[in-house]
Structure 1
Amino acid sequence: MSHSSVQYCPKSFAVPIIFVPGLMGSRLRIKQDKRIVWEPLDNIGNAIRLARSNAVEKRAELIGLDAAPYSPDYLEVDLGESNPQHPFLQERIDRGWGGVLQGSYSGFLAWLQVSATLPENGLLPRGCSALHYEVWAPPYNWTDDNLNSGRDLGDTVRKALEGTAKKYQGTDVQVLKPIIITHSMGGLVSRAYTQLHGGAEEVHGVIHGALPCEGAPAAYKRILAGFEGAGIERHVLGANQQEVTATAANMPGVLQLLPNQWHKTVNGAKAWLHCTGKDGSKLWSKPAANPYSEIYSNQSDWWRLVYKEHLNPGSDNESEAYISYVKALKNAESFHAQLGPSAFHPNPRMFYSDDTEHSSWDSVEWKQTETEDIPPDDTFQDTNGRGIFTWSRMVLVVDFGGFEPVPRLITHYELQPANAPGDGTVHSGSGLHVSGPMSLPINPGFEHQPAFDSKEARRLTKEWLFEMVEEQL
């Protein structure tokens, strides 16, 4: 028998698959007393409690009690518990399945483990007589810096490889190098691991889904106006400016989802924040160069990202909260500077939604709708916390024979709806302009959170996994 015929003799293979969830996709508890603060297991009671809480209460749950500044040691992941009646589930608990968002991920994880190896055309990857995927889903502290989460991901990759090797020890099954699959923010965690923590050689390839490669303007919109719709993010992180600033704007991981210095709109433009006059004329566009200094740390313009009095509403020390926020911003800018626009694993794939049925913000527009385009100096500002800023002037009116000061509306700016193709959170430009991965659009597309429930997303994932298996044979 020739050497070449031996080389392609079909064998059995096993591949460790590590799935990295997105924002709010991991179960979190307070490290000190082990009390669960975020339960991503479709727990209605948990959602109702958080929905009824105000900005101070939400911040206390997610950032720290007694108006403490953000600390990465306040929260930790919770892996969940196996059911004593079904001890076979312990393996999945050990692999992290119980600590991730069940509604979005449990079906996909089960599909990966059981069905993704079944060939559509009856043919396994060339050289395979049998193929096994061993799926891990490590939860992580999504409030923390993605650089820290990326470091911890390396521990899971090594554990997955060792666990798979141990499972098939003594059999004729050959274990291949691990493959990572990511959703949304999980892609930043993975990129931090492979490109900044030296993990690229430890995995064969990475598949990204719904990745905000260079951030998403939706993050700006939601901090300034709250989360839209009826999703769980609205209940947990906030429905208005006050609530989301008190929670998300204190989280280093979330700040790394803001449009960074490399961001481009669907049309390729660098400026993504605009203000238009009543007649539709462009009054200004930002950023000219750096969104961190021009928009995020800005404290002089009304359209700035953060009003520092909302960062820690339970404390009288606005300066301390703002200093902590600016430190997290600088870390975010540094994180993206280290990654750059092309820091991906050498063997990457990516899919993204590209239809207007799931409109997304690739840019954010504030439109003037009342009277004067630019607020006069003698007016005072007010906001409803949901995307409307108004300026009024006090005028005297006759009231019962005297004069009574009352506000009169002068100028009114309103946030405009999303109108770019995408998945409702990440616009298609994130995939269109990405530098590095093989990046394919899906149209009709999908909603951001259940991205991996899309039939086309699963088809691509299966196809890419088969390709990556063949590459290793």
Structure 2
Amino acid sequence: MAHQTNPPGYPLPVNPGSNQGTVAQGFVTPAQDQVPQVQNIPPRRILPIIFIPGIMGSNLRMSAARQRALGADNNIAWRPDNLGATAPQYNDSPAERQRRLDPAETEVDQYDPEGNPTGDPKETSDQRNDDVKYSVGYNGFGRLDGPLLQHDLPGTTNARTREQKARARGWGEVYFGSYSDILSLCECHLNGAFSGGTPSVYLKKHIIGVEPSAWQAHARPALKALDEKTLRETVKGCWFPVHAMGYNWLKGNSESGIAIAKRIDALIARYREQGFTCEKVILVSHSMGGLVARAVIHPEMGKLADKVLGIVHGVMPAIGAGAAYKRVRCGFEGSGIGPRILGNTGVNVTPVLGNAQGGLELLPSQAYGNHWLQVQQNGTMLKSLPLKGDPYEEIYKVRGKWFGLLREEWINPAGADGPGFDMSCALLDRAKSFHNAIVSTYHDQSYAHYGADPKRTAWRNVVWSMHKRAKPQNVDTLAIAADDAQGEMQLIDPAQAVPKNKAPLEFEVEMLEAADPGDQTVPVHSADAQLNSGKFKGIFRQSGYEHQASYSDDAVIASTIYSLVRIASTMTWPK
């Protein structure tokens, strides 16, 4: 918002929670006091910013029934900020992981101080969300009258702290340790853009007049530096409250998109009930959240294109990622919270992602192309798939092949009713339908940033390398003799004759490390589908950051704020 110097006089208090400056409370003063009492009327326009996190970026809680079945002290299913709850999950068995992260028994862990849905009578909703803070402020303003993250004034009925307001905006629904920078800085710099007619220090130094090439903008389409006049006109008379909306990433992205679309509708209605003019929102996504955002605007899913002004996509696997295949078969790489909780072996990961449509929707889609799953020996290609453009039928749903996605014995260690190879195949069919439905769905006002870093390699191709001494007759007919579930297998060839009293000859095969430019998770091959679509207003192909930590990178933050202003500048307000 653009802020001008206040006129002299006694500013009258404004209640941002109800009358929003339309009603002021005056005071009786002595007759000799000629200083005017000034009623400041805050802006009436609101353009909410909605942040949609990536897979594993939304906090989940278990149903009461599942909590009782597991004998858990609380209902936390997934909350990486809470080390006290997550540390014991590092050593969970595959069956325990499957039961805790069951799509049918989990939901987003939303903040609710009245209902207090923590599953622990000793823990309040505020205590569970204690990590959620907002301490950035608004570029030096002591206080602004508006729908902002500020402590309510003393004496306010049902007074709330700024932290409680942030939690009510959904900031506690998401992995705050990973997303706090982008949430806080967008809230700060969009709502405190000008003071006394002067732009904030950050915007003046890092945004205004800076060539987008400084943030590695692609030459196509060409982008211009943001001038102060455009910024001023864009933020003038408007609030930009930053919200976060989590989703159950174990379920399909279409279902998540529909759920978030309903929440956005309700949010717009709530702001209107408070007397604001609120017609549209802007979406900011991270990773798989980009697929959810595309579902939000899809005409047969969320159906909300008319209420979304634009979308900023961050590190989106636009057409899938080879890492999804790698992780189901070999576990998560790295030593962070996610790999340790979900597991660094295929035995631990398959019971979760193999039963989760959302996870399966990160697999390379048909648009990803052919020949990305490879078997090599001494650099010579022995086999590559898919050949006919359908990885679902040629890789993911094949049964009994050593290179298939699913090891059947890993899918349902909990012995639950339903899960199994057939159900996973049904989920894959739905994933295929979703991929095909959104393949060309992008908002007309879309911007994207993603990693194209040759030093941050990702799996564009997934390569199984066979030992140089192996001499298989037919790669297709090899069978698994041993599998460490981390990328090394011993295969045997049933077609080869074995002398009596001799063990079958085993062939060693291992998965090679990622070798393609990206961000260590999404290869640039997938992210570039956005560039190749020709539908984006701006593309930033960047380097220097890892996938999950992207929204803590300075260039990502700057390019995101730039993109948000560009989108907001297209808003046409009613007269």
Number of matched pairs: 436
Matched letter for residue 360 of structure 1: A
424-433 or 129-138: which moved more? 129-138
Match of 2:395 in 1: 295
CA–CA distance in 2 between the matches of 1:407 and 1:263? Answer: 41
- Structure 1 residues 455-470: aligned runs within 5 Å: 455-470=554-569
- Find the partner of 2:414 among 314, 317, 330: 314
Tell me if 1:417 matches 2:513. Answer: yes
Q: 2:177 aligns with which of 99, 103, 108?
A: 103
Tell me the equivalent position of 1:140. 247
1:134-167 Cα deviation digits (max 9, x unpaired): 1110111110111110101112212332343445
Cα gap change, 1:359 to 1:271, in 2 (>3 Å): same
Is residue 264 of structure 2 the alignment partner of residue 157 of structure 1? yes
Q: What amino acid sits opposite 2:126 in the alignment?
A: S
Work out the CA distance in 1 between the residues paired with 2:402 and 2:478.
15
Deviation at 1:407, TM superposition (A): 4.7
Deviates more, 1:325-334 or 1:233-242: 233-242
Moved over 6 A (4+): 375-379
Please, what is the CA RMSD of the aligned residues?
A: 2.7
Q: How far apart are residue 131 of structure 1 and its match?
A: 4.2
Q: Say which of 58, 75, 83 aligns to 1:26.
A: 58
Please say if 1:186 is aligned against 2:289. yes
Query: Which amino acid in the other structure matches residue 177 of structure 1?
Result: K
1:371-407: per-residue Cα shift (whole Å, max 9, x none)?
224267797621111001112589xxxxxxxxx9675
CA deviations on 1:103-154 (whole Å, 9 max, x unpaired) are 1112221111112453433553436435421111011111011111010111
Tell me whether 301-310 or 367-376 shows the greater mean CA deviation.
Answer: 367-376
How far is the alpha carbon of 1:271 from its aligned partner? 2.1
User: Secondary structure of the equivalent of 1:233?
Assistant: helix
Question: One-letter code of the match for 2:176?
Answer: Q
Residue segments in structure 1 that go unaligned for 5+ positions in a row: 1-10, 64-71, 265-269, 395-403
2:173 and 2:340 map into 1 onto residues whose CA distance is: 20
2:320 partner SS:
coil
For residues 375 and 233 of structure 1, do their structure 2 counterparts lie closer, same or farther at Cα, with a shift above 3 Å needed? farther
Separation in structure 2 between the aligned mates of residue 383 and residue 241 of structure 1, nearest angstrom: 10
Change (3 A) 1:411 1:254: same
* 1:299-378 matched pairs, under 5 angstroms: 299-315=399-415, 321-340=420-439, 342-374=440-472
Contact 2:182–2:551 (CA under 8 A) maintained in structure 1: yes
Secondary structure of 2:540's aligned partner: strand
Partners of 1:204 and 1:242 in 2: how far apart? Answer: 43
Give the aligned residue type for 1:218: A
Report the structure, 1 or 2, having the larger strand content.
1
The C-alpha deviation readout for 1:320-361, integer Å capped at 9, x for no partner, is 511211110110011112112x11122211111111221111
- The 1:439–1:411 alpha-carbon spacing in structure 2 relative to 1, beyond 3 Å, is farther
Q: Alignment partner of 2:375: what SS? A: strand
CA distance in 2, matches of 1:375, 1:43: 52
Instruction: Return the offset for 1:73.
Output: 3.6
Conservation of the 8 A alpha-carbon contact between 1:360 and 1:418: yes
Name the TM-score, length of structure 1 as normaliser: 0.85
User: Which deviates the most, 404-413 or 294-303?
Assistant: 404-413
Q: Write the distance in 1 (CA, Å) between the matches of 2:236 and 2:434.
A: 43
Which runs of 5 or more structure 2 residues have no equivalent in the other structure?
Answer: 1-42, 68-73, 112-124, 131-150, 152-159, 194-202, 209-227, 495-499
Letter in 1 for 2:173: G
Give the Cα separation in 1 of the matches to 2:89 and 2:373: 31
Q: CA deviation at 1:100?
A: 0.8
**Residue of structure 2 in register with 1:78 after alignment:** 109
Match of 2:119 in 1: none
Residue 57 of structure 2 aligns to a residue in which SS?
Answer: coil
Instruction: String of CA shifts for 1:178-220, please: whole Å, max 9, x gaps.
Output: 1011111111111111013311111111110010111111000
**Distance verdict in 2 for CA 1:216–1:189, change over 3 Å:** same
Q: Distance in 1 between matches of 2:395 and 2:492?
A: 24
User: Where do 1:27-42 residues align within 5 Å?
Assistant: 27-33=59-65, 35-42=74-81
Structure 1 residues 39, 393: closer, same or farther in 2, change over 3 A? Answer: closer
Deviation, structure 1 residue 409: 5.4
CA distance in structure 1 between the partners assigned to 2:234 and 2:468 by the alignment = 69
Match for 1:235: what amino acid? R
Between the aligned partners of 2:403 and 2:516, the Cα distance in structure 1 is 21
Letter matched to residue 178 of structure 1: V
Q: 1:234 to 1:129 in 2, by over 3 A?
A: closer
Q: One-letter code of the match for 2:50?
A: I
1:252 aligns with one of 353, 357, 367: 357
Partner of 2:89: 50
Structure 2 CA distance for partners of 1:157 and 1:247, relative to 1, 3 Å: same
Q: Which secondary structure does the structure 1 equivalent of 2:64 belong to?
A: coil
**Conservation of the 8 A alpha-carbon contact between 1:422 and 1:445:** no
In 2 relative to 1, CA 75–375 (structure 1 residues): closer, same or farther, beyond 3 Å?
farther
Taking the aligned partners of 1:280 and 1:58, their CA distance within structure 2 comes to 38
Instruction: Verify the 8 A CA contact 2:320 2:364 in the aligned structure 1.
Output: yes
Residue identity opposite 1:450 in structure 2 = A
Change (3 A) 1:168 1:451: farther
